[in-house]
Amino acid sequence: MIRESQSFPPFTEEPIKVIGEAGEWLAPFELDLDDEQLKGLYRDMLTGRLADERLIRLQRLGKSSFVAPAAGHEGAQVGVAHALKAGHDWLFPYYRDLSLVLAYGLPAAEFIAQTMGTRADPARGRQMPYHPGSKELNIFTVASPIASHIPPAVGTALAMKLADRSQVTLVSFGDGATSEGDWHAGINLAGAQGAPIVFACQNNGYAISVDLKRQTGSDNIAVKAHAYGMPGYLVDGMDVLASYYVARDVVQRAREGVGPALIEFVVYRYGGHSSADDDSRYRPKQEVESWRRRDPLQRFRRFLERRELWSEDEDLAARDEINEMLAAAVRAAEEAGPVPLEWMFEDVYEELPEFLAKQRDELLG
Amino acid sequence: MATHTMVQAIANTLDSEMARDERVVVIGEDVGKRGGVFLATEKLFDKYGPDRVIDSPLSEAAIIGAALGMSVYGNRPVAEIQFADYVYPGFDQLVSQVAKMRYRSGAMFHAPLVVRMPAGGGVRGGHHHSQNPESHFVHTAGLKVVYPSTPSDAAGLLRSAIRDEDPVVVMEPKRLYRSVREELPGDDHLVPIGKAKVLREGDDVVLISYGGSMAETNKAAAALLEQKISPHVIDLRSLQPWDRTTVLEAVARVGRAVLVSEAPRTVGVMSEVAATIAEEVLDSLLAPPLRVTGFDTPYPYAQDREYLPGPNRILKAVERALSY
């Protein structure tokens, strides 16, 4: 149950945080998470970070064609994942949501198989890396065009409202997405209909190389919510507990029928936009380094250590375990082998039409 | 027995399908309280309420995108785009999201939705109330496209589209909305998607058309009969998939084909039909397949009637085909 004191004000001047950089608890309310839950948040961030490093290595080895670095986003992504009811709610992620989908429950093996495009990919090798989806978990399969998933997310939320089963939709995107027409089309519909949807923006200050000042005239992303008749929250996305608590509050309100909301998580992307990007062309080294000192994992680890919930030994053990799991996932993806050529022609429609079958037969000879 | 115009047939079909299946919902601009600017959704709002007949904000991206989101959740939405000319703000949703939903997700999700839109010229609407953008949709893998020309086909194809597990774009020839009245077959009348209709058997030339142009094609056929020329007339009805069997059998037998469509000539659907005829039945052809189409211009206001391929232009093409 969310207590009054755990409700957060929208449109704050400064990003909301509940842990300081030294790991000290700052919030006026009592922490209501037990030790297992707290360690679980850290483990999920660590999993995201280690998965990120491994996927970068895989790409450099030529075993995958593309990476969307997510290091630095773990606090916001893991906090949001824990605020939802996986399998009951619906999640509409974007291409950088590695930690989010893993923390939400997507098996690393499925993410990696999709990234490597092998037969183990539940989506049958159809898309480029970093485009996960899950029927079981209600994770809407990622599509590359930025913000194109916003209107569908609102549609699902509308359907949820009609079905009246206390479900919530959460749609995740970056700062660049908020300039696309589809973003405005979707969030406007959500406001007009009072749909149970939470818009979660991970603002890392850059859309590839275009910085926020060139992206929008707005002071920040959260203020845009004013235009659509809903509250906008400004959160320190490098603080996993602030991310969790604000998301939890806002999601619960949506679940109760209060309506949609926008949350902006201020984060920083340590890597480039993608494996094809050279971010030294547009970001000064000192800037990257100063944000490195605000690493969400380090900050939360300091918080846990203050409470004697974590140690160097535990960290090493956790890293070993997670790395072993990731290595096994890579092996499983590789061992499944390549996707059959015929699969290219399936799932265009429910049934394979004659004219397409002919094309397949021409190719297969 | 009561007769119905095409737009009444559409409204009736929506009503009977919404009564039959509670998952069917309608979304678009003015579809609710107003009953649609062409009255295609008349009375649905009073009967089914605002939860199932949704008046959307003015945004085709929101309409089509929301229809997708509702369909993956379990509904069967019928989205209305007020004029085909206005589909473009929602084009990315249709092409990037809807068309590729099943394929990109490995069939984890699919999009059983319908997008219907009034299309075609001859209504003095100029650039943006007259277009036939069907080529864009036929060219997009994952979409089905239908284009009826009669009230009963409009009903039967819309019903098939609503019950189809794939996304279907339904083009409706607006200048024929109220021009013809027909008795409608019952509430389970289905026209299969992908099946053309032979309107008249004939031996001298095959006339193939769809949508609004069927009216002019039928007039041309009547004129040919008076000249003792025997036309074989085919209404394609479906554009993706289109009925290759019916077309190729007829053209192989008769040897001459005239393809009529008011959409602009270059890369119009009839280009696809002509190329297929040439590839598959060249040995049987007595003349090249000839297209009679709209011109490669934006749709004009002042020359509305001249733009459309009328009976005279069709007859000229038939003459040319017969003279080979």
- Listing DSSP states for A256-294 in one string gives TT---EEEEEE---SS-SSTT--GGGTS-HHHHHHHHTT
* CATH number of domain containing B125: 3.40.50.970
* Of A349, A359, A357, the residue nearest B141 (C-alpha): A349
A357 touches chain B (CB under 8 A): no
CB pairs under 8 A between A and B: 147
Q: Are residues B24 and B148 in the same domain?
A: yes
Task: Give the whole-angstrom CA distance, residue B265 versus residue B263.
Answer: 6
A89 touches chain B (CB under 8 A): no
* Cβ within 8 Å of residue A42, ≥6 positions away: A240, A297, A300, A301, A304, A310
Q: Are residues B37 and B177 in the same domain?
A: yes
Q: Nearest CB to A123: which of B54, B65, B108?
A: B108
Subunit contact B102:A350, Cβ cutoff 8 A: yes
Of A184, A282, A283, A360, which residue is the catalytic one?
A282
Residues of A in contact with B166 (CB under 8 A): 349-350
Q: Are residues B206 and B267 in the same domain?
A: yes
Asked whether the beta carbons of B225 and B231 are under 8 A apart, the reply is yes
Task: Give the whole-angstrom CA distance, residue A55 versus residue A284.
Answer: 25
Pairing of strands B238-240, B144-146: antiparallel
Residue B130 lies in a domain: yes
Among B183, B213, B247, identify where a domain stops: B183
* Of A96, A107, A162, the residue nearest A137 (C-alpha): A107
Q: What is the dihedral angle through the alpha carbons of A248, A249, A253, A254, rounded to the nearest 10 degrees? A: -40
Asked whether the beta carbons of A100 and A320 are under 8 A apart, the reply is no
Each of the 365 residues of chain A gets a pLDDT tens digit; together they read 556 667 899 999 999 999 999 999 999 999 999 999 999 999 999 999 999 999 999 999 999 999 999 999 999 999 999 999 999 999 999 999 999 999 999 999 999 999 999 999 999 999 999 999 999 999 999 999 999 999 999 999 999 999 999 999 999 999 999 999 999 999 999 999 999 999 999 999 999 999 999 999 999 999 999 999 999 999 999 999 999 999 999 999 999 999 999 999 999 999 989 998 999 999 999 999 999 999 999 999 999 999 999 999 999 999 999 999 999 999 999 999 999 999 999 999 999 999 999 999 999 98
CA dihedral sign, ordered A33, A35, A41, A44: negative
Residue B102 lies in a domain: yes
Residue B230 lies in a domain: yes
pLDDT digits (tens, 9 = 90+) for B127-147: 999 999 999 999 999 999 999
So what's the ipTM on this one? 0.96
Bridge partner residues of B77 (DSSP): B25
Mean pLDDT (chain B, rounded): 97
Q: Nearest CB to B66: which of A90, A154, A350?
A: A154
* Cβ within 8 Å of residue B60, ≥6 positions away: B81, B86, B87, B88, B89, B90, B93
Chain A nearest C-alpha distance from B275 (Å): 14
Task: Give the whole-angstrom CA distance, residue A246 versus residue A240.
Answer: 10
Residues of A in contact with B139 (CB under 8 A): none
* Of A290, A92, A181, A141, the residue nearest B93 (C-alpha): A181
Asked whether the beta carbons of B246 and B196 are under 8 A apart, the reply is yes
Q: Are residues B79 and B105 in the same domain?
A: yes
What's residue A365's pLDDT?
Answer: 87
Q: What is the dihedral angle through the alpha carbons of B67, B70, B71, B73, rounded to the nearest 10 degrees? A: 160
What's residue A5's pLDDT?
Answer: 61
Of A54, A253, A273, A299, which residue is the catalytic one?
A273
The three-state secondary structure class of B113 is coil
Among B123, B156, B183, identify where a domain stops: B183
Q: Are residues B117 and B208 in the same domain?
A: no
A282 catalytic? Reply is yes
Instruction: State pTM to two decimals.
Output: 0.97
Among B130, B153, B183, identify where a domain stops: B183
Q: Are residues B156 and B127 in the same domain?
A: yes
Chain A nearest C-alpha distance from B67 (Å): 6
Residue type, A251: V
Domain total for chain B? Answer: 2
* Of A135, A142, A38, the residue nearest A82 (C-alpha): A38
Chain B nearest C-alpha distance from A352 (Å): 11
Subunit contact A347:B107, Cβ cutoff 8 A: yes
A95 touches chain B (CB under 8 A): no
Subunit contact B142:A157, Cβ cutoff 8 A: no
Secondary structure string (H, E, C) spanning A122-185: CCCCCCCCCCCCECCCCECCCCCCCCCCHHHHHHHHHHHHHHCCCCCEEEEEECHHHHCHHHHH
Q: Are residues B162 and B91 in the same domain?
A: yes
Task: Give the whole-angstrom CA distance, residue A317 versus residue B38.
Answer: 68
Domain carrying residue B308: 197-322
The greatest distance separating any two alpha carbons of chain B, rounded to the nearest whole angstrom, comes to 60
Residue B62 lies in a domain: yes
Residue B78 lies in a domain: yes
A350 touches chain B (CB under 8 A): yes
Q: Are residues B76 and B205 in the same domain?
A: no
What's residue B310's pLDDT?
Answer: 97
Q: Are residues B223 and B109 in the same domain?
A: no
Backbone angles phi, psi at B190, to 5 degrees: -115, 130
Asked whether the beta carbons of A41 and A82 are under 8 A apart, the reply is yes
Q: Are residues B161 and B247 in the same domain?
A: no
Mean pLDDT over B31-43 rounds to 96
Residues of B in contact with A133 (CB under 8 A): 104-106, 108-109
Q: Are residues B144 and B210 in the same domain?
A: no
Burial of A135 (0-12, 13-18, 19+ CB in 10 A): middle
Subunit contact B59:A185, Cβ cutoff 8 A: yes
The three-state secondary structure class of B28 is strand
E strands, chain A, where?
Answer: 90-92, 169-174, 197-203, 206-207, 210-211, 232-236, 261-266
Q: Are residues B310 and B240 in the same domain?
A: yes
* CATH number of domain containing B303: 3.40.50.920
Chain A nearest C-alpha distance from B30 (Å): 15
Subunit contact B142:A140, Cβ cutoff 8 A: no
Residue B145 lies in a domain: yes
Where residue B2 falls among pLDDT bands split at 50, 70, 90?
confident
Residue B192 lies in a domain: no
Residue A218: both structure tokens together: 């707005």
Asked whether the beta carbons of B231 and B221 are under 8 A apart, the reply is yes
* Of B42, B102, B115, the residue nearest B72 (C-alpha): B102
Domains, chain A, with CATH or none: 4-364 (3.40.50.970)
DSSP letters for B243-276: -HHHHHHHHHHH--EEEEEEEESTT-HHHHHHHH
A137 touches chain B (CB under 8 A): no
Which sequence positions of B are flagged as catalytic? 129
* Of A157, A241, A236, the residue nearest A199 (C-alpha): A157
- Helix (H) / strand (E) element for B293: namely strand B290-294
Nearest-CA residue of chain B relative to A126?
Answer: B104
Subunit contact B108:A354, Cβ cutoff 8 A: no
- C-alpha A198 chain-centroid distance: 13
Task: Give the whole-angstrom CA distance, residue A41 versus residue A19.
Answer: 14
Residue B190 lies in a domain: no
Residue type, B144: K
